[in-house]
A and B are shown apart, each in its own frame.
Chain A
Amino acid sequence: MNVTRFSALTRHCFGRFFDRESLSPQGDMETNVAQTLALLAVPGMLTALWLLPFDVRGWMLVGARYFPVAYSMTVMGFVMVFEWDSLFPDARDYLILTPLPIRLSSLFAAKLAALAGFLALFVLDINALGTVLFPAVAGGESYGGAVLAHRVSVGAGALFMALSAAAIQGVLLLVLSGRMFRRVSAAVQCLLMAVLVMTLFLHFLVVANLRHLVVAHSSVLAWFPYFWFLGLYEWLSPATLDAWPLAELAPRALVAIAIAGGVFLLTFLAGYRRHARQAIAGTVLSPAGPGRLRAAAGALLNRTVLKSPLEQAAFHFITQTIARSLKHRLFLATYGGFGAALAVLSYTSGPLGSLTLPLTLSFFLVSGLRAAFNFPSELAANWVFQVSESERRSEYLAAMRKWIVVCGILPLFALLALVEFRLYHWLTALFHLSFGITLSLVLMQIMFFTFRKVPFTCSYFPGKANLVGLSVLYIYGFTTYSYTMAALEFSLARNPVGAVAFFALAAGVYTALGRYRERGVRIMNSLDYEDAPDPVVRTLNLHVS
Chain B
Amino acid sequence: MLEVSKLTKFYRNTPVVDDVSFAVRPGEVTGYLGPNGSGKSTTVKMIVGLIEPTTGQVRMDGRNVREDITAFRRRLGYVPEEAILYSYLTGLEYLQLIGRLRCLPEDVVEQKANEMLSLFSLSSYRRAPISSYSKGMKQRVLISAALLHNPDVLILDEPLSGVDVTSALLFKHLLEELARGGKAILYISHVLEVVEKVCERVIILYQGRVVANDSVDHLRDLMHLPSLEEIFSQMVEHRDLESTARDIVGVMRG
B-binding residues in A (CB < 8 A): 282-289, 302, 308-310, 312-313, 316-317, 320-321, 324-325, 377-378, 380-381, 383-391
* 6 A/B residue pairs, CB under 8 Å, sorted by A: A289-B90, A310-B101, A312-B106, A313-B97, A313-B101, A383-B80
Query: Assuming A309-B104, A378-B84, A387-B73, what are 16 further A-B pairs, CB within 8 angstroms?
Result: A283-B129, A283-B132, A308-B103, A309-B106, A310-B103, A313-B101, A316-B97, A324-B88, A381-B84, A381-B85, A384-B85, A384-B98, A384-B101, A388-B101, A389-B70, A390-B101
Contact for B99 among A302, A309, A378, A385, CB less than 8 A: A309
Contacting residues, chain B, for A391 (C-beta < 8 A): 70
Proximity bits, B73-108, A CB within 8 Å = 1, else 0: 100101010101111111011001111111111100
Contacting residues, chain B, for A284 (C-beta < 8 A): 132
Within the complex, what minimum Cβ distance (angstroms) separates A300 from chain B?
12
- Known contacts A320-B93, A384-B98: does B132 contact A285 (CB below 8 Å)? yes
- Does B171 make an interface contact (CB < 8 A)? no
- Max count, chain B CB within 10 A of own CB: residue among A286, A287, A388: A388
- Does B173 make an interface contact (CB < 8 A)? no
**Could you tell me if A387 and B50 are in contact, using CB atoms closer than 8 angstroms?**
yes
- Does B109 make an interface contact (CB < 8 A)? yes
- Known contacts A321-B88, A384-B98: does B78 contact A288 (CB below 8 Å)? no
Within the complex, what minimum Cβ distance (angstroms) separates B150 from chain A?
14
Contacting residues, chain A, for B48 (C-beta < 8 A): 387
- Does B127 make an interface contact (CB < 8 A)? yes
A-binding residues in B (CB < 8 A): 48-50, 70, 73, 76, 78, 80, 82, 84-90, 92-93, 96-106, 109, 124-129, 131-132, 145
Contact for B128 among A285, A309, A325, A377, CB less than 8 A: A285
**Nearest 7 Cβ contacts at the A-B interface:** A313-B100, A283-B132, A324-B88, A285-B128, A309-B100, A388-B101, A289-B127
The chain A residue with its CB closest to the CB of B80 is A383
**Could you tell me if A320 and B106 are in contact, using CB atoms closer than 8 angstroms?**
no
Contact for B106 among A283, A302, A387, CB less than 8 A: A302
Within the complex, what minimum Cβ distance (angstroms) separates A437 from chain B?
29
With the chains together, A506 CA to B249 CA distance in Å? 77
Within the complex, what minimum Cβ distance (angstroms) separates A279 from chain B?
13
The chain B residue with its CB closest to the CB of A317 is B97
The chain A residue with its CB closest to the CB of B145 is A384
- Known contacts A312-B106, A386-B50: does B124 contact A287 (CB below 8 Å)? yes
With the chains together, A288 CA to B90 CA distance in Å? 12
**Could you tell me if B109 and A309 are in contact, using CB atoms closer than 8 angstroms?**
yes
With the chains together, A387 CA to B50 CA distance in Å? 7
Contacting residues, chain B, for A317 (C-beta < 8 A): 86, 97
With the chains together, A316 CA to B97 CA distance in Å? 8
With the chains together, A77 CA to B164 CA distance in Å? 47
The chain B residue with its CB closest to the CB of A283 is B132
- Known contacts A316-B96, A377-B86, A390-B70: does B101 contact A385 (CB below 8 Å)? yes
With the chains together, A386 CA to B73 CA distance in Å? 9
Contacting residues, chain A, for B105 (C-beta < 8 A): 309
Contacting residues, chain A, for B76 (C-beta < 8 A): 387
**Could you tell me if A286 and B128 are in contact, using CB atoms closer than 8 angstroms?**
yes
The chain B residue with its CB closest to the CB of A311 is B100
The chain A residue with its CB closest to the CB of B146 is A387
**Could you tell me if B84 and A383 are in contact, using CB atoms closer than 8 angstroms?**
yes
Contacting residues, chain A, for B98 (C-beta < 8 A): 384, 388
With the chains together, A383 CA to B90 CA distance in Å? 18
The chain A residue with its CB closest to the CB of B94 is A384
Within the complex, what minimum Cβ distance (angstroms) separates B26 from chain A?
20
Within the complex, what minimum Cβ distance (angstroms) separates B156 from chain A?
13
The chain A residue with its CB closest to the CB of B123 is A287
Contact for A310 among B90, B92, B100, B127, CB less than 8 A: B100
Within the complex, what minimum Cβ distance (angstroms) separates A457 from chain B?
10
Within the complex, what minimum Cβ distance (angstroms) separates B32 from chain A?
18
- Max count, chain B CB within 10 A of own CB: residue among A282, A288, A309, A317: A309
Within the complex, what minimum Cβ distance (angstroms) separates B248 from chain A?
21
**Could you tell me if B86 and A312 are in contact, using CB atoms closer than 8 angstroms?**
no
**Could you tell me if B86 and A283 are in contact, using CB atoms closer than 8 angstroms?**
no
**Could you tell me if A325 and B88 are in contact, using CB atoms closer than 8 angstroms?**
yes
**Could you tell me if A383 and B50 are in contact, using CB atoms closer than 8 angstroms?**
yes
With the chains together, A312 CA to B86 CA distance in Å? 17
With the chains together, A378 CA to B130 CA distance in Å? 13
Within the complex, what minimum Cβ distance (angstroms) separates B191 from chain A?
23
**Could you tell me if B100 and A312 are in contact, using CB atoms closer than 8 angstroms?**
yes
With the chains together, A345 CA to B22 CA distance in Å? 68
The chain A residue with its CB closest to the CB of B104 is A309
**Could you tell me if A390 and B80 are in contact, using CB atoms closer than 8 angstroms?**
no
Within the complex, what minimum Cβ distance (angstroms) separates A312 from chain B?
5
Within the complex, what minimum Cβ distance (angstroms) separates A306 from chain B?
9
With the chains together, A283 CA to B134 CA distance in Å? 12
Within the complex, what minimum Cβ distance (angstroms) separates B145 from chain A?
8
Within the complex, what minimum Cβ distance (angstroms) separates A304 from chain B?
13
Contacting residues, chain B, for A310 (C-beta < 8 A): 100-101, 103
- Max count, chain A CB within 10 A of own CB: residue among B76, B88, B127: B88
Contact for B132 among A282, A324, A377, A378, CB less than 8 A: A282
With the chains together, A283 CA to B105 CA distance in Å? 32
The chain A residue with its CB closest to the CB of B99 is A309
Contacting residues, chain B, for A313 (C-beta < 8 A): 97, 100-101
The chain B residue with its CB closest to the CB of A391 is B70
Contacting residues, chain A, for B92 (C-beta < 8 A): 289
With the chains together, A380 CA to B127 CA distance in Å? 23
Contacting residues, chain B, for A309 (C-beta < 8 A): 99-106, 109
With the chains together, A387 CA to B75 CA distance in Å? 10
Within the complex, what minimum Cβ distance (angstroms) separates B137 from chain A?
10
